[in-house]
Amino acid sequence: MNLKIFCALVLQLLLGVQVCLSLYKMFLEFDRYEIEYSVIGDFSKVRVRKFNRTTPVINGSYDLAVDLDDNYEIGITCSRSELGNNQYNLFPMKLTTMPVCDFINAYGPDYQWIWENKSNFIYVGPEGVCPWPKGTYWVKDLALDASLLPPVIPNGYYRCYLDVNLAATKELVHHQAYYSRIYRELTKN
Ligand SMILES: *[C@@H]1O[C@H](CO)[C@@H](O)[C@H](O)[C@H]1NC(C)=O
Ligand SMILES: *[C@@H]1O[C@H](CO)[C@@H](O)[C@H](O)[C@H]1NC(C)=O
Ligand SMILES: *[C@@H]1O[C@H](CO)[C@@H](O)[C@H](O)[C@H]1NC(C)=O
């Protein structure tokens, strides 16, 4: 049995086998997001569009109605559906709820190359940003791809919730769901 066929079998049975994963390219297919609830802005003008056949992008603008500072907390929780049948199980990959400014300053510097030149988001320098000011933000042709993710994430359908709540009362002020699929294909040779 050649290595690729062996790996294809192994990958179907268990995950995280490095020698096998290196033969695969991981793809992130971003499907859609839904603002299920928000009292901190108008996000109705942001859409996921097909940039081309294979690449969806986020496009549009939104109005953030409040200055986001440490009176707000933000967290991300993901669950996974192996088959895409809406049977989601909590997936142990989450960004623990933390004050908004801590969140921005923890992740902004490492990840802002993704939206650099594709949005008017504020650049997060070494001194940090706080608060994240209210205003109109636009995003143009922002593609999300698998290079953003740790390489051992299993295939499947993912639903991630981004929640914002008031730090003092824990009252939910923004609840947003992202749906995407992770799959792998064998590399060419
Ligand atoms: C995204 O919006 C811009 C205008 O803001 C438009 O030029 C572009 O074609 C849109 N992209 C897609 C994939 O619809
Ligand atoms: C779609 O666009 C992306 C981003 O520019 C590009 O990397 C990819 O090769 C394109 N795919 C096709 C099938 O044209
Ligand atoms: C953004 O644009 C600037 C100026 O064109 C360029 O130097 C930089 O590399 C771009 N950043 C990314 C992440 O593409």
SS3 160: strand
Which ligand sits closest to the CA of 118? 3
Confidence of residue 48 (pLDDT cuts 50, 70, 90): confident
∠ CA(65), CA(69), CA(70), 5° rounding? 140
Separation between Cα atoms, residue 67 and residue 132, nearest integer Å: 6
Burial of 180 (0-12, 13-18, 19+ CB in 10 A): buried
| Residue 147: partners with Cβ closer than 8 Å, 6 or more residues away | none
DSSP classification of residue 67: -
- Determine whether the shortest distance from the Cβ of 53 to ligand 2 is under 6 A: yes
Task: Encode pLDDT of 124-138 as tens digits.
Answer: 999 999 999 999 999
Q: How far is the CA of 81 from the centre of ligand 2 (A)?
A: 27
Q: What's the pLDDT score for residue 15? A: 46
Q: What's the pLDDT score for residue 2? A: 53
**What is the DSSP annotation of 54-101?**
S-EEEEEEEEE-S-B-TTEEEEEEEEEESSSSS--EEEEEEEEEEEHH
116: its two tokens:
């650099």
Which ligand sits closest to the CA of 59? 1
Q: What's the pLDDT score for residue 84? A: 83
- Determine whether the shortest distance from the Cβ of 189 to ligand 2 is under 6 A: no
Q: What's the pLDDT score for residue 188? A: 66
Separation between Cα atoms, residue 47 and residue 139, nearest integer Å: 10
Q: What's the pLDDT score for residue 49? A: 87
pLDDT at 44 over 50: yes
Higher pLDDT, 172 or 151: 172
58, 45 in Cβ contact below 8 A? no
Mean model confidence pLDDT for the chain: 85
Q: What's the pLDDT score for residue 22? A: 63
- List residues near ligand 3 (CB under 6 A): 113, 116-117
Task: Encode pLDDT of 63-102 as tens digits.
Answer: 999 999 999 999 999 999 998 888 898 887 778 899 999 9
DSSP classification of residue 149: S
SS3 26: strand
- Determine whether the shortest distance from the Cβ of 52 to ligand 2 is under 6 A: yes
Confidence of residue 7 (pLDDT cuts 50, 70, 90): very low
Q: How many CB atoms lie within 10 A of CB 137?
A: 20
178, 33 in Cβ contact below 8 A? yes
Of 6-20, 21-35, 162-176, the range with the highest mean pLDDT is 162-176
Separation between Cα atoms, residue 88 and residue 83, nearest integer Å: 9
pTM of the entire structure? 0.79
Counting residues of the chain whose pLDDT is more than 70, the rounded percentage is 87
Which ligand sits closest to the CA of 117? 3
Q: How far is the CA of 113 from the centre of ligand 3 (A)?
A: 8
